[in-house]
Amino acid sequence: MATPQGRAAVTWNRDGSIVEFILDRPPANALGPELIDGLHTAIDYAQAVDAKVIVVASAVDGFFAAGADIKHMSTVDSASFRRYGDALRGALERLGALPVISVAAVDGLALGGGLELAMACTLRVGAARARLGLPEVKLGLIPGAGGTQRLPRLVGRSRALDLMLTGRQVEADEAYWIGLIDRLAEPDTTARATAWQLARELAAASTPAQLAVVRTVDAAYDRPLADGLRYEADQIQDLFEQGEAVEGLRAFIDKRTPEFA
């Protein structure tokens, strides 16, 4: 694994086609302006090196990210509050829109904006001590960086309402059971190590096919079944004509590992 580059609120590692973002803003990785800027810089780097998979992890013990910067929000006027919210939303939406599969490694607290950051990733891995929640109602707010939109898509309306209306935290086992976490790390393994294992699996597959899977599954949430089935048919045809399907099929016949870009 390469040496971390940069020394800011977000640093990064690269191993082949995998880039790891490391949140490093003690004591709790609050998503203040420095960390938001760091995410943009790390995304710039991942795009520059044509990353296939991104892992988002933390260097701060006990925290993935504690949430938005409450101290910052408590000192600003309404215009500055909107600018801060737009900046946070912009970083998470940019991450979520990347044509790259991303994996959040949640080990410790992922609350508020921290959970919204994890939900902006394609997949989430959690360790035993992960605690996840959207406690904004306790501050007189709502999740404002995608939480009200992404959480129901992951866990369903009723469970999303339960979490957001109470502001309670869920432990790793419950998060896995309701679909908020996609993989649980083994008891003696960190979320970061498990995320890297998953990232290597993902990097070996065809990125165009993976992104088509994500698009097609997402389409199931906002299209009638008949429209979704047509969209699925269009996606697989495009992969055959313009993607990596021909190489994958030939490699299968030749009994060799496919050479995906």
Q: What is the pTM of this model?
A: 0.92
127 strand-pairing partners: none
Residue with tokens 């306790």: 138
- Residue 68 a catalytic site member: yes
- Residue 136 a catalytic site member: yes
Residue with tokens 């946070």: 88
**For residues 22 and 31, what is the distance between their CA atoms, to the nearest angstrom?**
13
Q: What residues have CB less than 8 Å from 65, skipping those under 6 apart?
A: 23, 28, 29, 30, 31, 35, 58, 109, 110, 111, 113, 114, 117, 118
Catalytic, out of 51, 57, 66, 68 = 68
pLDDT in tens, the chain (261 residues): 443 454 589 999 999 999 999 999 999 999 999 999 999 999 999 999 999 999 999 999 999 999 888 888 888 889 989 999 999 999 999 999 999 999 999 999 999 999 999 999 999 999 999 999 999 999 999 999 999 999 999 999 999 999 999 999 999 999 999 999 999 999 989 999 999 999 999 999 999 999 999 999 999 988 999 999 999 999 999 999 998 999 999 999 999 999 888
Catalytic, out of 136, 172, 191, 244 = 136
Catalytic, out of 108, 113, 114, 144 = 113
For the chain, list the domains and their CATH numbers: 10-203 (3.90.226.10), 207-254 (1.10.12.10)
- Structure-token pair, residue 76: 């600003």
Catalytic, out of 46, 116, 147, 199 = 116
What's 25's DSSP letter?
A: -
**For residues 21 and 3, what is the distance between their CA atoms, to the nearest angstrom?**
12
- Structure-token pair, residue 7: 């020394």
What's 135's DSSP letter?
A: -
110 strand-pairing partners: 65, 132
- Residue 113 a catalytic site member: yes
